[in-house]
């Protein structure tokens, strides 16, 4: 998650000390200012829509589980033509949180870490009685953005066909100058 100093444009603190038994639904619909801030934070031309729907539930003894999805319509610049390119994001959001002082969090920090690339992430720790569900949704939004967007059918062609002739020219020039 992001540093607490750098607040997410779609920050949504959730008080987790007493969650309802069926969980707490969280819906974040970004307004124009939030969408503009998201675009700037992620190097996009624009964020045309952004909506996160999540459910915050109790997990294990003192932990918290956040699950749901984030959907957005964005505009990026094509890496080849720099023309605007529209894209749709629909990404699953999932996160586990443990209070920093819980026994399970200490075991996670002290024990051996076995990571499964396809498995769930290790739980993150939090202090106090709130987590930022909006920052978690933004994290998954950011991961879903194509880092090299390209319009369909557009390729970046290398000018390799001229290179052999250029090399031959240089060889002849060096021979004439006696620098071979």
Which pLDDT band holds residue 127 (cuts at 50, 70, 90)?
confident
pTM tops 0.95: no
Taking CA atoms, 157 is separated from 1, 34, 154, in Å, by 39, 38, 9
The answer, yes or no, to whether residue 122 has pLDDT greater than 80, is no
pLDDT digits (tens, 9 = 90+) for 90-115: 999 999 999 887 666 555 555 554 44
The answer, yes or no, to whether residue 3 has pLDDT greater than 50, is no
Which pLDDT band holds residue 47 (cuts at 50, 70, 90)?
very high
């Amino acid at each position: 998650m992001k540093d607490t100093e750098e607040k997410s444009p779609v920050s949504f603190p959730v008080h987790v000390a007493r969650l309802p038994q069926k969980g707490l639904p969280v819906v974040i619909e970004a307004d124009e200012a939030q969408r503009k801030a998201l675009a700037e934070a992620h190097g996009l031309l624009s964020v045309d829509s952004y909506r996160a729907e999540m459910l915050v539930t109790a997990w294990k003894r003192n932990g918290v589980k956040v699950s749901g999805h984030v959907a957005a319509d964005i505009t990026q610049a094509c890496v080849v033509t720099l023309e605007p390119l529209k894209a749709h994001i629909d990404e699953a959001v999932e996160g586990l949180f443990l209070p920093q002082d819980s026994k399970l969090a200490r075991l996670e920090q002290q024990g051996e870490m076995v990571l499964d690339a396809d498995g769930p992430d290790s739980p993150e720790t939090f202090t106090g009685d709130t987590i930022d569900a909006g920052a978690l949704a933004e994290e998954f939004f950011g991961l879903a953005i194509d880092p090299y967007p390209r319009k369909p059918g557009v390729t970046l062609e290398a000018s390799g066909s001229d290179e052999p002739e250029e090399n031959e020219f240089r060889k002849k020039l060096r021979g004439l100058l006696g620098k071979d």
